[in-house]
Amino acid sequence: MSTFFPEAWILVAMVGTFLLTVFLFRQPVAVSLAAGAVVGAIVAGQGFPLRHFVEGTFVYLDTILIISCAMLFMRGIQASGLLETVAHYLVLAFRNWPTVLLVVMTVFAMSAGMVTGSSTAAVLTTGAIAAQVFASMGLNKARVGALIAMAGLLGMIAPPVSIPVMIIGGGVDMPYEGFNLPLLLLTVPTAILCSLWIGWKGIRRVGDASQLPPSVHREYGWRLYLPLLVFAGLVIAENSFPTVFPSLGLPIAFLAAYAICPLCGRRFNLLRTARQAVHDALPILGILVGVGMFIQIMTLTGARGMIVEGFAGLPRSLFYGSIVVSMPLFGAVSAFGSASILGVPFLLNLLGSGVIVTASSLALFASLGDLVPPTALAGLFAAQVVGENNYLRILARCGMPALFVMAVASASLIGAPTLERLLFQSSGVSRGLFLGGVVAGLAALVLGLEWAKRRVVQKEST
């Protein structure tokens, strides 16, 4: 605990140092978090507690390993030609169904974020491929950028790898188990509805086959898909047959799939590609190290406990309002930082309210920081992908979808106990009817809009 200053001043010193280092000295978020931790320890009279700094850097070691290996896997299937081939055949299958293709390519754009836990990775890999398809469907740069930006940030929260949820759970010693269904329910339907809002009005059929992403299926056949099958097989075997199949973990599954990529598609240098993948992941990994140090010193000095007690004393309406405002705003600096510095204390105050759904909802709030200036990482990288000089045009297109995401997160946070009972404690029939109703409702909406789009096209042609 503090021997020099009260916990409030320690927190002010830590957060102030962090913000000054980011905005005034223009240092990376990871370095700024570490600087805030060092200043906090000194102000609290703890000197330079090396043991706690080291412990903090290893808090999210499991998450760091998952991200590193996931980035290797994504770069591997991109270099082998698998990503472009999958996109090619998706477009061929749905080119005459523009509304369905819009939805399918949105989920495809999310997929890299679902695997790596990074919105930036999603925008720059699968998002860049999907952007070509969206552009060929007649959408302008602002709409295309908004589509891949929203897909990136929602993909970051979607399973199987949701880094903000892992960070929040790690802060309260909650294992990353049982999150797949709630996260899917919160992200995939939301992404579909956002894509329809942004893109439905301006889409048309893909007419020119030359605009399709290139396919290498003819050269390599079905072996091209072997890395995906290996990864899926290892994960399914581990979860379905835990007593028979050894528990390898996601990092080993990613590495095994990555190792066979050059044998299944286009040849590439494994070591060179691995270096590039780790280089791309370093900013994210650094943030996790800095976040771990920051949280460790907040706990050591009592600042974390002070935050929990402070929020616990707020009226419920103000408490929920503070979540809605603070987490997206702080996420402008780092969605991961928002998840750790604010998400963990918020979850500690809501431990009796369906913790799995609550943590998922808090992570959804934190993800919106990727659309908040001045950083707005999802919007900024989406602008680079589509060649839009002013990324604020993309953020403007994301305005209403972002408010909708905020509404979904608010509703799930308030209704977390009920939703968690429905998903985990109700009978299989009740749960099946609920999930089936969601799927049927989305399918009816998409097909209804497809029919309406065809009617519009027919009227214009006559």
Counting Cα atoms < 13 Å in the Cβ hemisphere of 84 gives 17
Nearest to 331 by CA among 297, 374, 293: 374
Nearest to 117 by CA among 176, 66, 59, 175: 66
* 3-class secondary-structure state, position 461: helix
Q: Give the per-residue pLDDT at 5.
A: 58
* 3-class secondary-structure state, position 455: helix
Q: What is the distance between the terminal CA atoms of the chain, rounded to a whole angstrom?
A: 77
* 3-class secondary-structure state, position 427: coil
Q: Angle at the Cα of 121 (from 115 to 125), degrees rounded to 5?
A: 95
**How many other CB atoms are there within 10 angstroms of residue 42's CB atom?**
16
Tokens of 100: 């369905």
- Whether the Cβ atoms of residue 50 and residue 234 lie closer than 8 Å to each other: no
- Whether the Cβ atoms of residue 186 and residue 412 lie closer than 8 Å to each other: yes
* 3-class secondary-structure state, position 33: helix
* Rg, Å, the chain Cα set: 23
Q: How far apart are CA 433 and CA 430, in angstroms?
A: 5
Q: What is the dihedral of CA 405, 204, 212, 440, to 10 degrees?
A: 50
What is the torsional sign of CA 75, 81, 85, 87? positive
Q: What is the DSSP letter of 241?
A: -
Q: Collect all residues with Cβ–Cβ distance below 8 Å to 393 and sequence separation of at least 6.
A: 141, 142, 145, 383
Taking 70 as the pLDDT cut, the residues of the chain under it are: 1-5, 207-211, 312, 333, 374, 462
Q: Give the per-residue pLDDT at 4.
A: 53
Q: Give the per-residue pLDDT at 380.
A: 86
Alpha helices (runs of H) in 80-225, residue ranges in sequence order: 82-94, 98-116, 119-124, 126-136, 141-157, 163-171, 180-199, 217-220
Q: How far apart are CA 116 and CA 336, in angstroms?
A: 13
